[in-house]
A and B are shown apart, each in its own frame.
Chain A
């Protein structure tokens, strides 16, 4: 199975900071990469798919990029409501696998 590795595992930043999370696939997955946000005590929420396409309703401060094996999720100006764990997920083929998560704190 293709393994998804995220870095860092956690980070702390200030409101207004630019935050970048990296996800690396053990094999190329083209752009079949999604990002999910899971706030404390809540369920995962689809943020981005196709590596860079924002799901409807997602604030424009979120962006994604990458192709092949290396991907990034960027929050251009961190807000208090962005405190969450972020997961990448590959969906080029089953089994769909997730990264281990990156916890973002203020």
Chain B
């Protein structure tokens, strides 16, 4: 059973860059699309973007100017970088796998990591 584990700093200063890693275990990283989603009291669930194992990406236009998602298949890791952090970016960040059930249509997230809490504060 594939498992996802997010890791990274729990506290980030305003204007800094957040870097989070999602480690994939128990299953293949290949042939799947991998997303980052965040959850905050103010904005609910928000899809940040996805990456295919080949490196192809798609980002939410609302965050596109600040986001980079990358993949390292040898390490079985997906990385999220979000720059120019503000208090509005505080929340729980999840990585999730696309189920592939409706390919080529994407968006069904069937495996989620437990999430990591990020607080933006000086």
Contacts and interface: CB of A to CB of B under 8 A. Distances in A.
Interface of A: 1, 32, 34, 36, 43-46, 49-50, 55, 87, 89-92, 94-101
A34 B108 contact: yes
Chain B interface, >50% SS class: loop
A44 B108 contact: no
B116 to A, nearest CB: 11
10 contacts: A32-B102, A34-B107, A36-B109, A43-B113, A44-B45, A44-B112, A45-B112, A89-B107, A94-B60, A94-B106
A49 B108 contact: yes
Interface of B: 44-47, 50, 58, 60-62, 94, 99, 101-102, 105-110, 112-115
Q: Sorted from nearest, which 8 A-B pairs have the closest CB atoms?
A: A91-B107, A98-B45, A43-B112, A95-B60, A96-B47, A96-B107, A46-B110, A100-B44
Main secondary structure on A side of the interface with B: loop
Given A34-B107, A94-B60, A95-B62, A49 B101 contact: yes
Contacts of A43: 94, 112-115
A98 B94 contact: no
B58 to A, nearest CB: 5
Nearest to B113: A43
Contacts of B106: 91, 94
Contact of B58 (A44, A94, A98): A94
A5 to B, nearest CB: 12
A91 B104 CA distance: 11
